[in-house]
């Protein structure tokens, strides 16, 4: 909508959605005058009132079903797994990092989480009912976890360790040699390990 400054009478274009129903205080960028802008008046005497369909046509449910069927077919072809039980569409990778703990941890189980780390790691562990044990990432170690400093009883008890490189938030990188040490460390305490592209190591 077009708004005219009460001070200098300059016209400005303002998006309707930015104006509160009760009015919004604005400042003119030209003369710095402050005044109140109100949303456009609604014509209550319109001959044909708008309906919800006029404003926002609803998407057919069949479209969503068709999209899921296409996703499932693709996943089946790529991984030879049953998408109904082995896959779930997500809003994004952050949601995946969060909810994966519900698959990997039972209530009361322990996860080793780097400190500092991406917030979804510790939050996901807690939502799954797990216990967070912090593994410090120190500058003197190149922001890599000091695996040797993790107490043996804690390592044995833990069900997973998060490893994230290039690291968020430190920006550090890990070498292939570090990953080999990580695998050797995991095999020392866990009978069976799984390493995934998400960069965690998990003991089933």
> Which domains are assigned to the chain?
2-37 (no CATH), 92-202 (3.40.640.10)
pLDDT at 158: 95
Q: How many CA atoms lie within 13 A of 101 on its CB side?
A: 26
Exposed e or buried b per residue across 88-120, where buried means at least 16 C-beta atoms within 10 angstroms of its C-beta:
eeeeeeeeebbebbeebbeeebbbbbbeebbeb
Rounded distance between C-alpha atoms, residue 156 and residue 53, angstroms:
59
pLDDT at 46: 53
Contacts of 70 (CB under 8 A, 6+ apart): none
Exposed e or buried b per residue across 23-32, where buried means at least 16 C-beta atoms within 10 angstroms of its C-beta:
eeebebeeee
Phi, psi dihedral angles at 51 (to 5 degrees) = -110, 170
For every one of its 204 residues, what pLDDT tens digit does the chain have, with 9 covering 90 and above? 777 877 777 877 777 777 787 778 888 777 788 878 777 765 555 555 555 454 444 555 555 667 777 777 777 777 777 777 777 777 877 888 888 888 889 999 999 999 999 888 999 999 999 999 999 999 999 999 999 999 999 999 999 999 989 998 999 999 999 999 999 999 999 887 766 554 445 555
**Cα distances (Å, whole numbers) of residue 126 to 92, 98, 106, 129, 137:** 20, 10, 11, 5, 21
Contacts of 148 (CB under 8 A, 6+ apart): none
Rounded distance between C-alpha atoms, residue 124 and residue 108, angstroms:
13
Question: Pick from 200, 1, 2: which is nearest to 101 by CA?
Answer: 200
For residue 59, the 8-state DSSP code is P
Q: Which two tokens stand for residue 6?
A: 């009460």
In this prediction the pTM is 0.59
Contacts of 102 (CB under 8 A, 6+ apart): 124, 127, 128
């Amino acid at each position: 909508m077009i708004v005219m400054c009460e001070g200098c009478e300059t016209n400005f274009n303002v998006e309707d959605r930015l104006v509160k129903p009760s009015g919004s205080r604005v400042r003119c960028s030209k003369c710095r005058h402050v005044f109140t802008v109100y949303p456009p008046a609604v014509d209550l005497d319109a001959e044909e009132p708008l309906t919800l369909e006029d404003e926002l046509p609803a998407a057919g449910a069949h479209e969503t079903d068709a999209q899921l069927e296409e996703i499932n077919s693709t996943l089946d072809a790529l991984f030879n797994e049953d998408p109904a039980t082995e896959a779930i569409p997500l809003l994004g990778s952050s949601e995946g990092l969060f909810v994966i703990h519900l698959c990997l941890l039972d209530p009361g189980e322990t996860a080793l989480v780097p400190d500092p780390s991406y917030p979804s790691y510790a939050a996901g562990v807690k939502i799954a009912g797990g216990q967070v044990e912090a593994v410090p990432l120190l500058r003197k170690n190149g922001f890599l976890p000091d695996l040797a400093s993790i107490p043996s009883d804690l390592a044995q008890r833990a069900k997973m360790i998060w490893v994230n490189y290039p690291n968020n938030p430190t920006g550090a990188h890990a070498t292939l040699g570090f990953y080999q040490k990580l695998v050797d460390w995991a095999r020392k305490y866990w009978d069976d390990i799984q390493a995934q592209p998400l960069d965690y190591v998990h003991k089933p």
